[in-house]
């Protein structure tokens, strides 16, 4: 027990250290995180410590607690603070083009795996936790829902820690290259708008609003109701987790009695991780239509993000860093995948005579999330940044559901 406590303490210190340094906006740490995402350090440092026997590697009580308790609470906190009113105020064209990009991600991955798999059949082989398709599901989750989707898909489909880290590294490289290409597209937007038969003046009609609502500071002025809301945050989190736990236990018990074969595309229905993700996300969406959404004022989103920092540390601890290896086939698959995603976006924009703005922002809202999507939108016009934020949040809403659909499609491809 002493060893387990020491391990948990070290992981907590790592999470706190990365969390704190990631908030710094100058100096060494700012330059480091410009090229190395915090999530890489959260995964890598515990792995190095565990692989070198500085602390006990492998499974741990902290890891089991993080996955069974913190993961559903985190998904609940991050989802219930979403402002659907602002999302619904977006133009129909922007949402439809964005959703076309989402479809391109969901179906593009399985298609890309099948195409590259024709030249390298080993990629389609069933290797249990090391199966390539399971690693790609994590990228699907990442590209539609960022870190929450990535982690959720890992647990639902049972991806090995080594393969997960490889996919994490590939995802980081590919995302940065894609973002750079989109900025190149911004400079070519005049030409691309002519190809799409679009009227750039339509951007002037986009209604603004809600931008500052996604830039809360945890250390806001604490009025007399602050501690009441903080207590309510704890109450909602605890009650929400209890509901998720009860629903998950009932659902798992029911589907385990159905004896679904492990090779079936529906095998995930008998796994607790699937139901935890499903019920936590769904309950969070329901709560977002209530006053619970205002709990973001007392740090609901920041708390959820910090829980993810600790969660990633526990995942990294399970991985033996010295067993890692990489394959260029993953990068090739992602390149084909992104091409399919881009084709879906361009076809949708062409059919609706939409500006390349909708293509670029819709793509980055899916793949990068609110922060980088707002950067891409701001590159067209600073007053359009809020649309990138809102589309990125919409991506977070549908991410886990889309990741599950992608997982089913991957299973169909490898079983065919």
Cα dihedral 42→44→50→53 (10° resolution) = -130
pLDDT exceeds 50 at position 212: no
The better pLDDT of the pair 313, 56 is held by 313
**Where does residue 172 rank: exposed (0-12), middle (13-18), buried (19+ CB within 10 A)?**
middle
Domain presence at residue 160 = yes
Q: Does residue 153 contact residue 138 with C-beta atoms inside 8 Å?
A: yes
> What is the band of 115 on the pLDDT scale with cuts at 50, 70, 90?
very high
The CB density around residue 411, as the number of other CB atoms within 10 Å, is: 23
Within a domain: 375: yes
CA dist., res. 191 & res. 282, Å (int): 42
| Domain range enclosing 93 | 83-203+322-415
Q: What is the pLDDT of residue 99?
A: 94
Closest CA to 78 of 238, 227, 273, 292: 292
Decide which of 227 and 136 is more confident: 136
CB-based contact 409:265 (threshold 8 Å): no
Does any domain span residue 184?
A: yes
Domain assignment of residue 229, yes or no: no
Query: Which tokens sit at 285?
Result: 């969406």
Give per-residue pLDDT as tens, 228-282.
777 888 888 899 999 999 999 999 888 888 887 766 767 778 878 778 888 888 8
Q: What percent of the chain has pLDDT over 90?
A: 16
Which carries the bigger pLDDT value, residue 218 or residue 4?
Answer: 4
Model confidence at 209: pLDDT above 80: no
Distance from the Cα of residue 381 to its chain's centroid = 26
Whether 137 is in a domain gets the answer yes
At residue 385, the pLDDT reads 66
pTM: 0.72
Q: Is residue 400 part of a domain?
A: yes
Domain assignment present for residue 326? The answer is: yes
What's the total number of domains in the chain?
1
- pLDDT per position as a tens digit, 274-317: 788 888 888 988 888 888 888 888 788 888 888 878 887 887 78
Query: Is residue 262 in some structural domain?
Result: no
């Amino acid at each position: 027990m002493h060893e387990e406590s020491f391990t948990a303490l070290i992981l907590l210190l790592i999470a706190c250290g990365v969390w704190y340094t990631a908030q710094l906006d100058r100096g060494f740490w700012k330059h480091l995180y410009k090229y190395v995402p915090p999530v890489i350090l959260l995964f890598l440092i515990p792995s190095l410590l565990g692989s070198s026997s500085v602390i006990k590697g492998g499974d741990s009580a902290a890891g089991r607690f993080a996955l069974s308790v913190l993961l559903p609470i985190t998904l609940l906190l991050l989802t219930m603070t979403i402002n659907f009113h602002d999302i619904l105020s977006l133009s129909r064209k922007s949402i439809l083009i964005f959703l076309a990009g989402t479809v391109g991600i969901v179906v593009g991955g399985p298609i890309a795996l099948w195409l590259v798999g024709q030249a390298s059949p080993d990629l389609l082989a069933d290797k249990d936790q090391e199966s390539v398709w399971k690693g790609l599901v994590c990228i699907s989750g990442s590209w539609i829902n960022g870190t929450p989707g990535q982690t959720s898909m890992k647990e639902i489909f049972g991806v090995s820690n080594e393969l997960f880290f490889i996919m994490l590294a590939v995802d980081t490289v590919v995302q940065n290259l894609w973002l750079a290409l989109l900025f190149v597209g911004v400079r070519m937007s005049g030409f691309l708008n002519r190809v799409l038969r679009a009227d750039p003046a339509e951007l002037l009609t986009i209604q603004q609003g809600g931008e500052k609502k996604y830039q809360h500071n945890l250390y806001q002025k604490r009025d007399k109701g602050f501690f009441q809301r903080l207590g309510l945050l704890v109450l909602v989190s605890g009650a929400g987790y209890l509901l998720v736990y009860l629903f998950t236990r009932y659902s798992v018990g029911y589907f385990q009695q159905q004896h679904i074969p492990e090779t079936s595309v529906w095998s995930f229905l008998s796994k607790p991780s699937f139901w935890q993700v499903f019920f936590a996300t769904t309950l969070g969406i329901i709560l977002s239509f209530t006053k619970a959404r205002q709990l973001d004022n007392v740090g609901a989103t920041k708390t959820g993000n910090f829980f993810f920092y600790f969660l990633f540390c526990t995942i990294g601890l399970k991985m033996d860093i010295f067993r890692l290896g990489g394959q260029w086939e993953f990068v090739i698959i992602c390149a084909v995948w992104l091409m399919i995603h881009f084709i879906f976006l361009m076809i949708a924009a062409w059919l609706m005579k939409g500006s390349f703005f909708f293509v670029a922002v819709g793509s980055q809202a899916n793949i990068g999330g609110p922060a980088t999507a707002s950067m891409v939108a701001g590159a067209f016009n600073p007053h359009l940044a809020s649309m990138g934020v809102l589309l990125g949040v919409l991506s977070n809403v549908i991410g886990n559901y889309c990741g599950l659909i992608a997982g089913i499609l991957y299973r169909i491809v490898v079983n065919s």
